[in-house]
Amino acid sequence: MHDVGLIRNFSIIAHIDHGKSTLADRLIQLAGIVDERTFQDQILDNMEIERERGITIKSQAVALPYVAADGRSYTLNLIDTPGHVDFSYEVSRALASCEGVLLVIDAAQGVQAQTVANLYLALEHDLTIIPVINKIDLPAADIPKVKGQIAAELGLDPEEALLCSAKEGTGVEAVMEEIVRRIPPPGGDENKPLAALIFDAQYDSYRGTVIHVRLFDGTVAAGDVIRLFSTGATYRVEEVGHFLLHRQKREALRAGEVGYVIAGIKTIADVRTGDTITHDERPCPRPLAGFRESKPVVFASIYPIAADDYEDLAAALEKYKLNDASFVYEKDSSAALGHGFRCGFLGLLHLEVVQERLEREYDLGIILTPPSVRYRFLLKSGEVVEVDNPARYPDPAAIDHAEEPYIRAVMILPDRYLGAVMKLCRDKRGENPHLHYPSPGRVEMTFEMPLAEVIYDFYDRFKSVTQGYGSFDYELIDYRPSRLVLLDILVNGERVDALSQIVHRDQARPRGLTACERLQEEIPRQMFKIAIQAAIGSEIIARTTISPFRKDVTAKCYGGDITRKRKLLEKQKKGKKRMKMIGSVSIPQSAFLAVLKSDSP
């Protein structure tokens, strides 16, 4: 019997490291759907990179069976959300599938920048919010202070907050019970036309596209002909079900439920996360609302190290795209690197995640070019061109003026770091600072800064100067006039187009020198002297050199040494394959991103 009254759809949101994943693990453990032996820490974060970085990138869903105090058996659908500022769009998709959230707050650290940001997102979706104070076992836990912040900074009733220690398991049962009690069951009408929201999708090499959906109205079952709203494409459903860590086939999914649909969709480009699924014969009148288009703000090109891998890279990007609606790409080519793709990312972390996943999951050797933001050039002809690829830099003589995107950065930090962060932001061309003291000892600072400065090692330096205590979030605000130049890198006199950057005039010289120094460190010594130069047009503004090897040969090579020698040299040949030949110089993969790292600690 289908009873939506027995369903709860919820998410957990938190500032990074406040214990979201640990709490999710506890809930899964308590639901008894996984035995101790197979229980891994942070089950929802099932991608290697997420585990290593301790962040959640992809949303996942899991159905938790729970017998509540009222004696009834509920299904609690936990929809995991990404935990990083780069992924706010994915958070929004997951939240649109829920009726409530657990807002987890660290009992020692209290409310942080992302606690607030996540709360606003949840409020935007009109969700029930259950504050959960976690890590109450910590000696530094200060529950009264956190309750004070919940009232003052979040505007929530502190008496509603639940206390728990996910690590030790205390209070977790009560969390389950309160999910049932406070979060409303999903609405919707199973007799109405089907309206299901795609909040995620994955590619299964055997089954094709596995679409993760939340049904708002109607039902869907195997054999149904469904239509994807945005494209109008129709498919016959092969299988539906829900998630208990793994897919569990069911006869049908009904209004209010969360689950998956497999419909033989081989062309992964047909599935857009955020789209609505309906029945072909009896469609719903309009697509579901609540999703916004993600906008890439950081752009970089991806090239295969080996030209032969281009097709594999194309296939990998196509597959990757299915799991990451916020990732965009198009074909690109470079004189130095051959054929590749220009890609858009939500931020630098997103870029690094994509890079790592392509390398690990698809076993591809790739080169990423220095990231860029999207600049705007107003030409003398009156034409406006947007450029996110240094290769498309307009003819300098034709440019009237340039503009670059600005962000408003919101940083919360202990006030003892104020001076250091102020200086950092000023160095990064920040302007118009505003200070606000939400609680004694803490300062919330906003700054307007060029986005380009933020992607250039800002995170690392911010984390460093605040010793990890600061939190940072940003939003794009507008474009402002700027003085830009194209900074080229030459290796042995040959311009490497893939290393070009668009930079602010005043920073061209230090940037150029830093790039040359980084390349000097990253490019291994070779047989010849290598000259590395930075140039604006024909003007050389910085230069470094790499001294060559003088001796590299074994003294003895006769008789039996030949097989051994060959094997040794073959190993070196393999190592060389991981590098890109630019002219006669082998440049390692790492060099392409290294030009963006500054030398500040």
Binding site for other proteins (CB under 8 A): 306, 308, 526-529, 548-560, 562-563, 565-566, 569-570, 572-573, 576-577, 581, 583-584, 586
Beta strands at 384-387 and 375-379: parallel, antiparallel or unpaired: antiparallel
Q: Give the nearer residue to other proteins in terms of CB position, either 246 or 556.
A: 556
User: How far is 149 from 163, CA to CA, in rounded Å?
Assistant: 15
Shortest spacing between CB 559 and other proteins, in angstroms:
5
User: How far is 279 from 219, CA to CA, in rounded Å?
Assistant: 9
Q: Give the nearer residue to other proteins in terms of CB position, either 52 or 552.
A: 552
Q: Give the nearer residue to other proteins in terms of CB position, either 413 or 587.
A: 587
Shortest spacing between CB 509 and other proteins, in angstroms:
30
Q: Give the nearer residue to other proteins in terms of CB position, either 157 or 552.
A: 552
Shortest spacing between CB 209 and other proteins, in angstroms:
34
Positive/negative CA dihedral, 499, 502, 508, 511: negative
Q: Give the nearer residue to other proteins in terms of CB position, either 473 or 494.
A: 494
Q: Give the nearer residue to other proteins in terms of CB position, either 39 or 528.
A: 528
Q: Give the nearer residue to other proteins in terms of CB position, either 373 or 579.
A: 579
User: How far is 284 from 229, CA to CA, in rounded Å?
Assistant: 9
CA angle in degrees (0–180, nearest 5) for 447-353-62: 105
Q: What is the DSSP letter of 165?
A: B
User: How far is 491 from 493, CA to CA, in rounded Å?
Assistant: 5
**For residue 359, which of 582, 49, 53, 579 has the smallest C-alpha distance?**
49
The DSSP secondary structure of 177-226, one letter per residue, reads HHHHHHSPPP---TTSPPEEEEEEEEEETTTEEEEEEEEEESEEETT-EE
Shortest spacing between CB 221 and other proteins, in angstroms:
51
Q: Give the nearer residue to other proteins in terms of CB position, either 426 or 525.
A: 525
Shortest spacing between CB 590 and other proteins, in angstroms:
19
**For residue 231, which of 263, 259, 186 has the smallest C-alpha distance?**
263
Residue pair 366/305 in contact (Cβ under 8 Å)? The answer is yes
Q: Tokens for 422, please give them.
A: 């102020």
Shortest spacing between CB 527 and other proteins, in angstroms:
6
**Which run of H or of E encompasses 109?**
none
The DSSP secondary structure of 142-164, one letter per residue, reads -HHHHHHHHHHTT---GGG-EE-
Q: Give the nearer residue to other proteins in terms of CB position, either 545 or 554.
A: 554
Residue pair 454/168 in contact (Cβ under 8 Å)? The answer is no
How far is C-alpha 554 from the chain's CA centre? 48
In single-letter form, the type of residue at position 371 comes to: P
Shortest spacing between CB 498 and other proteins, in angstroms:
17
Residue 216 to residues 90, 193, 230, 293, Cα–Cα distance (Å) = 19, 10, 17, 20
User: How far is 28 from 64, CA to CA, in rounded Å?
Assistant: 7
**Which run of H or of E encompasses 278?**
strand 276-279
Shortest spacing between CB 583 and other proteins, in angstroms:
6
In single-letter form, the type of residue at position 252 comes to: A
Q: To the nearest 10°, report the CA torsion of 171, 173, 179, 180.
A: -140
Shortest spacing between CB 543 and other proteins, in angstroms:
19
Q: Give the nearer residue to other proteins in terms of CB position, either 414 or 548.
A: 548
Q: Give the nearer residue to other proteins in terms of CB position, either 234 or 545.
A: 545
Query: Can you name the residues that pair with 87 across neighbouring β-strands?
Result: none
Shortest spacing between CB 273 and other proteins, in angstroms:
38
3-state secondary structure of 421: helix
Q: Give the nearer residue to other proteins in terms of CB position, either 67 or 527.
A: 527
User: How far is 133 from 442, CA to CA, in rounded Å?
Assistant: 20
User: How far is 379 from 401, CA to CA, in rounded Å?
Assistant: 7
Q: Give the nearer residue to other proteins in terms of CB position, either 187 or 583.
A: 583
Sequence-ordered list of residues with C-beta below 8 angstroms from that of 421, at least 6 positions apart, any chain: 411, 413, 445, 462, 465, 466, 470
Q: What is the DSSP letter of 110?
A: B
Shortest spacing between CB 278 and other proteins, in angstroms:
50
For helices 458-465 and 418-427, angle between their N-to-C axes, nearest 10 degrees? 160
Shortest spacing between CB 564 and other proteins, in angstroms:
10
Shortest spacing between CB 516 and other proteins, in angstroms:
20
